[in-house]
């Protein structure tokens, strides 16, 4: 009975605390965990309810004449707005570029919507906007339309930025989080938890011998290399809120497969791991902003890994696990002692305003 309950917990949408138990929105509803899954499912998906949205991908694929475009959006509310390795503007550009390219599309155009608190320093706004331009140039995209709202003092916390983006799907790929297959290998493009721990340590005022830097980066060049190396990618997603654990659970739930990862294969920087241990946080649950998790047929994994490691953003890539027929919907981690733990989708909030 216990096991059945755990399996049920792991699918991400059968939340043990149904949304009807809450009268108000909780921080946990924005966490990338189970409660957020439930909020999205019970309120947004069930009301907006259309075939494109219901696929629950990070981007919508749309037909324009003979062409396919992808369309995605993200709002950024990160606190602090300037952090080691980036700022809210850079994050807003890279985050949307990454969501666009995760199904193999080429990102081209972004929108930028600013909500600014009265009294926000013009110098900070300039710095943010300049780094958005630089991030856009790095990713080869243009910011082509925008909007600015200013709200009264204390009606928002400094600045929030929404970016939406459009890309063109030029390659004939079938990449989807519903598409993992037993026998697939799981690759991650580099070390995990850098972004989340950079935010957390800058917020808590913790200092480490080596400062932890966010991995904030646009992945489209790496993704281009990946999709040029093989056309058999089954799934790709950037593990942001909720970390690698959330992405792997979404993969397992949506594809109705099991996923097994190996603890000793998961790349984590020493200082990040140290910070996680001090704070009692599992790095698997911590947000990344420049990483991709890929599922592809096992026999192609080593070749792709070699190719990825030649790219600066893939230098620390690893094969971290495999897709199995057993325990559909459930992600397990096998320790070096051979013990398997369920890596459940987090229920609630580990770190609000991470992105």
Structure tokens at 271: 């200082």
Nearest to 212 by CA among 285, 270, 293: 270
Instruction: Supply the minimum distance, in Å, between the C-beta of residue 127 and a second copy.
Output: 10
Nearest to 256 by CA among 11, 9, 3: 11
Distance CA 223, CA 103 (A): 9
Instruction: Supply the minimum distance, in Å, between the C-beta of residue 67 and a second copy.
Output: 4
Nearest to 227 by CA among 277, 175, 287, 177: 175
Nearer to a second copy, 110 or 253 (CB): 110
Instruction: Supply the minimum distance, in Å, between the C-beta of residue 114 and a second copy.
Output: 7
Instruction: Supply the minimum distance, in Å, between the C-beta of residue 109 and a second copy.
Output: 6
Nearer to a second copy, 38 or 184 (CB): 38
Distance CA 298, CA 323 (A): 9
Beta bridge partners of 160: 115
Nearer to a second copy, 149 or 302 (CB): 149
Instruction: Supply the minimum distance, in Å, between the C-beta of residue 276 and a second copy.
Output: 23
Distance CA 326, CA 234 (A): 19
Report CA-CA distances (Å) from 12 to 249, 251, 294.
Answer: 7, 10, 20
């Amino acid at each position: 009975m216990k096991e059945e309950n755990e399996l049920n917990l792991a699918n991400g949408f059968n939340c043990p605390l149904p949304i009807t138990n809450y009268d108000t929105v909780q921080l946990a509803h924005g966490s990338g965990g189970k409660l957020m899954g439930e909020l999205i499912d019970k309120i947004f998906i069930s009301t907006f309810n259309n075939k494109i949205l219901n696929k629950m991908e990070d981007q919508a694929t749309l037909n324009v004449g003979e062409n396919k475009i992808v369309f995605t959006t993200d709002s950024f509310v990160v606190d602090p707005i300037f952090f080691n390795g980036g700022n809210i503007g850079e994050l807003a550009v890279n985050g949307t570029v990454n969501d666009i390219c995760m199904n193999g599309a080429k990102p081209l155009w972004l929108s930028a919507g600013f909500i600014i608190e009265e009294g926000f320093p013009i110098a900070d706004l300039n710095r943010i906007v300049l780094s958005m331009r630089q991030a856009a140039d790095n990713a080869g995209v243009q910011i082509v339309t925008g909007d600015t709202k200013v709200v009264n003092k204390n009606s928002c916390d400094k600045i929030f930025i929404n970016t939406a983006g459009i890309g063109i799907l030029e390659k004939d790929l079938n990449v989807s989080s519903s598409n993992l297959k037993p026998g697939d290998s799981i690759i991650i493009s580099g070390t995990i938890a850098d972004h989340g721990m950079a935010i957390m340590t800058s917020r808590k005022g913790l200092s480490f011998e080596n400062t932890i830097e966010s991995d904030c980066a646009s992945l489209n060049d790496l993704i281009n290399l990946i999709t040029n190396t093989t056309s058999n990618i089954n799934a790709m997603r950037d593990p942001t809120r909720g970390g690698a654990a959330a992405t792997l659970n979404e993969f397992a739930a949506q594809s109705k497969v099991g996923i097994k990862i190996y603890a000793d294969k998961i790349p984590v920087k020493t200082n990040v791991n140290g910070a996680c241990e001090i704070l009692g946080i599992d790095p698997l649950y911590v947000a990344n902003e420049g990483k991709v998790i890929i599922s592809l047929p096992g026999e192609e994994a080593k070749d792709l890994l070699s190719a990825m490691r030649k790219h600066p953003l893939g230098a620390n890539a690893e094969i971290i696990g495999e897709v199995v027929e057993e325990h559909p919907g459930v992600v397990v981690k096998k320790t070096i002692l051979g013990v398997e733990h369920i890596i459940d989708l987090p229920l609630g909030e580990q770190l609000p305003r991470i992105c």
